[in-house]
Amino acid sequence: MRILGIETSCDETGIAIYDDAKGLLSETLYSQVKLHADYGGVVPELASRDHVRKIIPLIKQAIAAAGLTKDDIDGVAYTAGPGLVGALMVGACAGRALAFAWGKPAIAVNHMEGHLLAPMLEDTPPSFPFIALLVSGGHTQLVQVDGIGQYQLLGESIDDAAGEAFDKTAKLMGLDYPGGPLLSKLAEEGQTGRYKFPRPMCDRPGLDFSFSGLKTFAANTIAAEPEEAKADIARAFEDAVVDTLAIKCRRAFEQTGINRLVVAGGVSANRHLRKQLAEVMSKRGGEVFYPRPEFCTDNGAMIAFAGMQRLLAGEAQGLSVKTTPRWPLDQLTVPGQ
């Protein structure tokens, strides 16, 4: 069985074809980073229009790269949420229309479930149960995963997500958009320990996150210190975010007794975070799993894979097109139930 996956939740148009026997057959991605750079962030209307321009050529490209025709596609999966409503509608309408025209089933996929399952695309996928740390520009969550569709939210950010805090702090430093990766690169030049930043919400019980105050602390530090201190400030900021994520992961292991970790989302590509979590899991004798770097950010492969799991269980959508800009993971059902 072969599934065409369509991802358009924000500023990247991702298309992929997944085969349940052969794995990933093709994958293509178009990023709108240059389009939004002049504005310092994603402009929803521009994002939607660019998806409209790119989606059909990319679908044709993915089908051709896989050496297939439309007749070889058994289903169309598309991101239905969470995300920007206009961007979601482009992918959902295109996916539903193609499925109808081709006489194939259409599958609405939760974007975060796609991220959560992305490590399943690797040669050594994690087995259930595991704890998932989902860290991106829009989400920071800890989820207990007992199986596909069996998700228990353990904790989440009550304000800024980790990736959002990275980007906003980078902007305060005058770095280009998207600033998160540039801040991490600058942090590599900084000296650890010169500045001490708080580890938010780590002095109280629970697994929720809060990074808005940390961003404000960084803003005040940047304003008070000279330009040449920026690398050290970046180092202190990144250390604080990574330490906070690691502390909360350890608490999740202790709370659940699970010793297997999946890390996904754009921030999962952060090298400092990977190093620290590897040390945490090594001390615990546990395992940590990541998607490959190109699948840390939004992509069509994770949507095709997630859609495949639900189609195999008999799920498919009707002719109506529905998107859900806010769609919590714990509202999902077990496929086939």
Q: Which residues are annotated as a binding site for substrate?
A: 134-138, 167, 180, 270
Characterize the bridge pairing of strands 106-110 and 75-81. parallel
Start-to-end CA distance of the chain, whole Å, equals 21
**Which residues are known binding-site members?**
111, 115, 134-138, 167, 180, 270, 298
What is the three-class DSSP state of 209? Answer: strand
Q: Tokens in use for 104?
A: 């194939």
Task: Give the annotated binding-site residues for Fe cation.
Answer: 111, 115, 298
DSSP 324: -
Rounded Cα distance, 299 and 207, in Å: 28
Amino acid at 174: G
Element holding 147 (H helix, E strand): strand 140-147
Pairing of the two strands 23-31 and 12-19: antiparallel
What is the token pair recorded at 65?
A: 């790269």
Q: How many CA atoms lie within 13 A of 94 on its CB side?
A: 27
Nearest-angstrom CA–CA distance, 26 and 177 = 29
CB 107 within 8 A of CB 309: no
Buried b (16+ CB within 10 A) or exposed e, 46-70: ebbbbbbebbeebbeebbeebebee
Tell me which DSSP letter residue 70 carries.
Answer: G
Quote the CA–CA distance of 76 and 96 in Å, as a whole number.
Answer: 7
